[in-house]
Structures are given as structure tokens and as C-alpha cells.
Structure 1
Amino acid sequence: MAKETKGKRVQEESSERFISFRCGTNKEKAKAIVINGIQKIRKDVGLRFNTIAFVSKAQTLLNSSNFFRSVYTFGDSFVDPGNNNYIETNSKSNFPPYGRDFVNHTPTGRFSNGRLFPDFLAYSLGAKKYQRPFLDQIALNSYLTEQPTAISFASATSGFDPLTTNTTNAIPMSTQLEYFKQYKAKLQNKIGKKRAANQIKKALFYVNAGSDDFAFSYFGDGLNQTARYQTYKLPDYEQFVLQLMQQFIQGLSDQGARKIAVTGLPPLGCIPIVITLLPGPKASPQRNCVDYQNSFVRDFNSLLQNQLKSMQSKLSKFGTKIAYIDFEQPLLDVIQNPNKYGFTAVNKGCCGTGLYEIGRKCNQTTPVCADTSKYVFWDAAHPTEKTYGIIFASNIPTILGLIKD
């Protein structure tokens, strides 16, 4: 068995063991299983975090009740499981070769070959094996009776900035919040206000957005200045996005959210299409990551973490806990140390040339790589399932700390 395939299999087995660890009745045996699983991941995939600290936190959770939790997701194409299938937009991926490694090779609308970060999250918390799109109204009634459940309100090419969705017709973050309010009302009608409030209180709310605000609304294609670029200096636009993000998180809190995970920006300078499109002296003929893009990401994520700490302090009186989910450093580590994780291609996607193909340009007539486990990116903007799994595993200690009652 190839090393890459083995690493992927170990990741999947470790996810199963993680579930067994939390749900099993034999706690000592379960503890041994999770230690073994983590050690295998560290050895075969190269994940690095403190095993003892992880197990200590997990063991504490074993002794708590009502561990299973619903997961509600908001954001963009990094987390959309198919909501865009139900709206008029060109930002879709519900066709081959997307979903090549998903169950039954189904192109669900996920911008990847398989699962996304919140799929791993929902499964690990015992909610559901995969998150489901809210706009699948046919299935919504069954979602309302599922406890716990995993529902996503995310929409590919969405953002906090209202201008971000103007050209793509994606679902703005503000509308995603309104959709959650609609869901909450239906949930209350279905199971009663008290049970609905308890489910929402114990749920994990996961937010991953902002990348498209900078990629589309601010920087654009690098050839033509965007309206936001002409209006705002970069530090001012960062504050503008942070303010909108703060309003969104406050909106979740107002609806009863008490456990909120917010993802920082990924290293945008390492996204294949960004490397491709940036012109002139800022372009990299060797297709290296674009330093000035990654530099602003570091600054923004630092500001975001400070903002989340401030919000945590203000909302703690309501029992609210807010955590920062790190996409930046785990993804950078994968890109800078590919051999450690079994990757060989870090600056291009598996689909087509890997330089610019996204969405409609990555279709059933487009050739794809033979082995996705060797690729960090599936298309020119989105990670493979394997990469998402690595990023998720790197954030497990943070997630465990967040959901602890």
C-alpha cells in the first residue's frame, strides 16, 4: 500500500476511533484507542500536537453528559455542502469531477473531491456523518427532528462584505443569518421552544468566511482596481471586514449561540489561482507563495484573534465561548513540508492544469490527476479532502476546549 493511501486510511480509521472513544462505555480502553490513533496520525501523516494534553481534555469530556451536539455552519465555498445547487449562480460544483472521492462518487456541490472541514467536525461530534445544505427543503423536515443534526447555511463565493456576492449572486452572510432564524422558528414549531433553545445552546456554530471578501472585493484579478481597493487602504478594509464579522457573531449570540468557532483566513498567497493571476513583479515564475498576500493574512488573523478575545470577554456573562480555528498555520505547514504529509504537488490543483480551473472550468471534460492524496489542492482554490482532514485534526484540541460544558 502506498504511503499516501495508508496515511489517508489511518486518518479515516482515527476518525472512527475518535467517535468510539467519546461514545464508548469502557473509558480506559477508549483512552488507549484514541492515544494509539493519535500516535498513528502523528507518525504517518505528520500531525503535531500534544497527545497528553489532548487525551486529558478528551477524558474530561467523557465524564460530561449530553456530549453529542448539533453543528451549524456559515460561510463560503470552503464549507458549502451544496446550498448553491438551489440558487441562480455560476458558483456551483454539483457536477463531476467534483465529489470524485465522496460517497458513491457523488458531486454534492462541495468544492472538493470529498469531505470538507465541517464534515469532519460534524462526524466527530456525533451529529451526522456529513453536513447537509439548509436549502434542500425537501429534506429539511427530517432535519428538524434529528437530534443532533448538522446543517449548513454556507454559500460558495459568499462573504461579509455585501459587494462580494453582487456579481456571483451567492447567499450573503447576512442572509445566511436570516436563514438560521427561519430554521430556528421551524425547529421551535416542530419540537417546542424549550427543546429548541436547549439544542441551539449546546450546538457548535462554525463560521468560515472572509477569504472571498479579500480575493474578489478587494484585490480582484490584480489587473483592475476594485471599488473597495479604490475606497479603502488595506488596513481600513481589514477593519471594515472585522466589524461586519463582529456583527455577524453578535447576531449568532442573539439567536442563542453559545459555542462559536471562527476560522481565520487561509494563506491566500499560496492558493494556486492567486499565484497564477498576480501579474508583473509580484508574480512568481517559480509558483512560490506570494509573500505580501500571506503577510496581510498574518496581520488580519492576529487582529481577528484579538477581536474574538474581546467578544469572548463581553459575551461570557451569557455563557458564550468563542474559539479561533487556525487554517493558516496547518495549511502553511503542509505546503512548506509536503513530504511529511505525503504530498508532491503544493502549488497547483488536481483538476486540469491546476492553475486556474475552478467551478465550471473544472468539469467532466477536464482531465484530473490520478492520485488526489498527493495534491494539497483539488482545484485551483480549494483543498483536497486529505488536506481538510489534516487541518481539522490540527484543530481538535481547540474544538474540545470549546465544546466542554
Structure 2
Amino acid sequence: MEKACSKQHLLQHLLRLLFYLLIFIPSISKALANPRASNNSAPAVIVFGDSTVDPGNNNYVRTVFKANFAPYGKDFANHVPTGRFSNGRLTPDFIASYIGIKESIPPYLDPTLSIKELMTGVSFASAGSGFDPLTPKVSNVIGIPKQLENFKEYKKRLESAIGTKNTENHINKALFIVSAGTNDFVINYFTLPIRRKTYSVSGYQQFILQTATQFLQDLFEQGARRILFSALPPMGCLPVVITLFSNHAISECGCLDYFSSVGRQFNQLLQNELNLMQIRLATHGVRIHLTDSYSALTDMIQGQGRSAFDEASRGCCGTGYLETSLLCNPKSILCPDASKYVFWDSIHPTEEAYNNVFKSIRPIIDAIIRD
């Protein structure tokens, strides 16, 4: 009798354990697959810059620099081309999801956005933009000063909904992301003759540095306290740069090191400037970090790190050497698996590459958003 009771109790314990496992294992697996930041106090993600962080603002601008058509967005939710210059999500989308705000960052110019969407963050970025005032004029897109004006308008909309003091606190705690500068060098300085007549390479680096740091100062004055600033990528590894400037020496990894070296030099200048700004503004609670997208992309291109890519010299769309925007269209031939490619088109990374960039900067995100 005692043995029978003992077996019955054991069976009950096993059934109870099985029940708990059925309930909790899916949740644990989901948490492991989609890790969330701990001690998160950032209520919003606010983004400025170029096509690397534009989720579709150019859909509302008269410009050829658009990506609101197939095959862009091929691997986005519901396979919708949102205006992102990739097959899927961008780095700010991964960041917003990671800190538990929302799954993707919408464009500010979307007229259907609710106050809730506005409060949790938007992107003011515009593909083709840059810090040099000439850069957005070339493409007829939204310049950085206009993006700042749109942000001021955004603040007024929040103030109307939640009041001035609450808006100030909200902005102080928000995570700001700035990603621009590549177009200033690739589209403007190295491709067009105007700036080269006025500036040497080092002179132009200083010019962009001054406009970038002034923009950061403007953001601070508007309430930004937590800022991630993206470093320039290895520009000499962009397929379009290799195609257009192939007369320059190609390195062992297949890149044009001259162009990448310009980016490296600028990143060091920028890091020095951000260090000084951090010291100067530390008493105001400012946290400014340079995110090293240069090293993250270089590691992917050279086949280093946890994620291996099969192709890094050309994009997935078309030939992969020159196509972007209208040249990457519904008639373009695509690679069989974009996740194996570093680049989606001749300039922009794939969703998988952006995800790798996000993973590489996750420790910085944790540091900047903690209370």
C-alpha cells in the first residue's frame, strides 16, 4: 500500500514538473532568443542621420533616394518595403526591441503616427543626408538642420500631450542615435569636385567634425543626455566605392584602404572630440558614446566573429556592385539567401549585418541606458 502511495506521489510530482516545463520553457526560450536590456530607463529611441537609420522618411520627400518598393523590405514583417534601405530591420530597430520599447522605429513624417508611437520614439533620418549642407542638396533630401527643426516640432507635440515638464524628463531619459557622415565623403567629397576645390582631405574631415559636434551640442541644448554616435564604416569596402574607384590600390581583403583610412582617421578625431564633450558635459548627466561600426563591419567582411558571411564584396541585389535605390528594383535578380551577405545593395548592409552591428554595441547600450 505504501509503495503504491509512493508511486502515486512520484507520478504527481513528475506531472507537476512536466506542467511547469510546458509553461515556462517556451518563455525561457523566447527570452534567450530575444534578450532584453536590464535596468532600462529609456522611454524612447530618437534617431537622426542618413539611410543607415532612415525607416522611410524619404517616402514623403520628392527625391529619387527611396526604397519603398520591392525587393527592399523582402525580409521585413509581412515582406513590406517600408522605405528602409535593406532587406529588413536596421540597427535602431534592433535596439528598440532590445530595450523593450517596440519592435521597429517609425519615420517621423508618417502622418498616421499616434501620440503613443511618437512618445516611444521616431526617426528623423533621411537617406542621402549628411553633415555637410551640400550633401542633402545633391539628393534633395532632409538635411541635418531640418531634422533638428523637425525634432523641435516633435517636442511641441509631446508638450501638448503630456506637458512641458514631463516632456523635458522624457527627452532627458530617451536614447538618441546619430548615424551620418558616409554620404559626405562617398557621394559628396570623393565623387563631386566642388568640395575638393576648397578642402584637402584633412580639411574636409575637420569641416565635417565641426558640423557634427555642433549638431551634438544642439541636441544637448534640446535636452538630449544619452547619445550613441555611429562611427564611419570602412568606406573602402563598400561595393559601390570599389566599383567607382577601382583605380586605387586594393588591399588583401578586397577593399580600397585609402578610403577606409579616411574613415579611420575621422573616427579617431571624432572620438577625441566626444571625449572632450563628455568631460565638459558630464555634470549635466550626459553620456556620449561612439559606436564602433567600423570594426564590426570589418570583422564581418574579413570573416571574423561568431557570424560567418559567404559574400562581402558585392550586394545581394542585382550585380551587387552598383545597384542601390531605383537600380535595385522588382526586376533585379536577388541572391538566394541575403543572410549570407554583408551587403544588401551596393552600399547598405543586410538585416543580418545590421543585427551583428547591434550585437557588437550591446554592452554600450546597457551602459548608457542604466539608471
Task: Say whether 1:275 aligns with 2:242.
Answer: yes
Name the structure 2 match of 1:235: 202
Separation in 2 of the partners of 1:238 and 1:14?
Answer: 43
Name the structure 2 match of 1:129: 103
The letter of the residue matching 2:215 is F
Secondary structure in structure 1 of the residue aligned to 2:122: strand
Name the structure 2 match of 1:306: 272
Name the structure 1 match of 2:173: 202
Separation in 2 of the partners of 1:13 and 1:393?
Answer: 17
Separation in 2 of the partners of 1:227 and 1:111?
Answer: 27
Secondary structure in structure 2 of the residue aligned to 1:72: strand
Question: Once the two structures are superposed, what CA deviation does each residue of 1:89-118 show, in whole Å capped at 9, x if it has no partner?
Answer: 000000000000000000000000000000
Is the 2:253–2:302 contact (alpha carbons within 8 Å) kept by the matching residues of 1? Answer: no
**TM-score, scaled relative to structure 2:** 0.89
Task: Say whether 1:218 aligns with 2:189.
Answer: yes
Name the structure 2 match of 1:191: 162
Question: 1:105-116, aligned counterparts within 5 Å?
Answer: 105-116=79-90
Name the structure 1 match of 2:3: none
Question: 1:31-42, aligned counterparts within 5 Å?
Answer: none
**Segment drifting more, 329-338 vs 350-359:** 329-338
Separation in 2 of the partners of 1:14 and 1:116?
Answer: 21
Is the 1:74–1:154 contact (alpha carbons within 8 Å) kept by the matching residues of 2? Answer: yes
Task: Say whether 1:259 aligns with 2:226.
Answer: yes
Using the TM superposition, give the Cα deviation of residue 140 of structure 1 relative to its aligned residue in structure 2, in angstroms. Answer: 4.5
Is the 1:287–1:347 contact (alpha carbons within 8 Å) kept by the matching residues of 2? Answer: no
Question: 1:7-86, aligned counterparts within 5 Å?
Answer: 16-19=33-36, 22=37, 58=38, 61=39, 67-86=41-60
Secondary structure in structure 2 of the residue aligned to 1:80: coil
Using the TM superposition, give the Cα deviation of residue 216 of structure 1 relative to its aligned residue in structure 2, in angstroms. Answer: 1.4
The letter of the residue matching 1:239 is Q
Select the residue among 307, 311, 317 that pairs with 1:345.
311
Question: Once the two structures are superposed, what CA deviation does each residue of 1:278-315 show, in whole Å capped at 9, x if it has no partner?
Answer: 043x1649981001111111111011100001111111
Name the structure 2 match of 1:90: 64
Name the structure 2 match of 1:400: 366
Select the residue among 276, 283, 289 that pairs with 1:317.
283
Task: Say whether 1:100 aligns with 2:68.
Answer: no
The letter of the residue matching 2:213 is Q
Change (3 A) 1:234 1:375: same
Separation in 2 of the partners of 1:308 and 1:341?
Answer: 30
Change (3 A) 1:230 1:349: same
Secondary structure in structure 1 of the residue aligned to 2:314: strand
Using the TM superposition, give the Cα deviation of residue 78 of structure 1 relative to its aligned residue in structure 2, in angstroms. Answer: 0.4
Is the 1:161–1:244 contact (alpha carbons within 8 Å) kept by the matching residues of 2? Answer: yes
Using the TM superposition, give the Cα deviation of residue 68 of structure 1 relative to its aligned residue in structure 2, in angstroms. Answer: 4.4
Separation in 2 of the partners of 1:17 and 1:332?
Answer: 25
The letter of the residue matching 2:141 is A
Separation in 2 of the partners of 1:399 and 1:340?
Answer: 20
Is the 2:338–2:344 contact (alpha carbons within 8 Å) kept by the matching residues of 1? Answer: yes
Select the residue among 297, 300, 315 that pairs with 1:334.
300
Secondary structure in structure 1 of the residue aligned to 2:228: strand
Task: Say whether 1:170 aligns with 2:147.
Answer: no
Using the TM superposition, give the Cα deviation of residue 126 of structure 1 relative to its aligned residue in structure 2, in angstroms. Answer: 1.4
Change (3 A) 1:286 1:316: closer
Is the 2:299–2:305 contact (alpha carbons within 8 Å) kept by the matching residues of 1? Answer: no
Using the TM superposition, give the Cα deviation of residue 342 of structure 1 relative to its aligned residue in structure 2, in angstroms. Answer: 2.7
Is the 1:130–1:150 contact (alpha carbons within 8 Å) kept by the matching residues of 2? Answer: no
Change (3 A) 1:252 1:68: closer
Using the TM superposition, give the Cα deviation of residue 344 of structure 1 relative to its aligned residue in structure 2, in angstroms. Answer: 0.9
Structure 1 stretches of at least 4 aligned residues deviating more than 3 Å after TM superposition: 12-17, 283-287
CA RMSD of aligned residues (A): 1.8
Is the 1:69–1:126 contact (alpha carbons within 8 Å) kept by the matching residues of 2? Answer: no
Question: 1:378-393, aligned counterparts within 5 Å?
Answer: 378-393=344-359
Using the TM superposition, give the Cα deviation of residue 338 of structure 1 relative to its aligned residue in structure 2, in angstroms. Answer: 5.8
Flag structure 1 segments of 5+ consecutive residues without an equivalent: 1-11, 23-57
Is the 1:362–1:379 contact (alpha carbons within 8 Å) kept by the matching residues of 2? Answer: yes
Question: Once the two structures are superposed, what CA deviation does each residue of 1:21-47 show, in whole Å capped at 9, x if it has no partner?
Answer: x4xxxxxxxxxxxxxxxxxxxxxxxxx
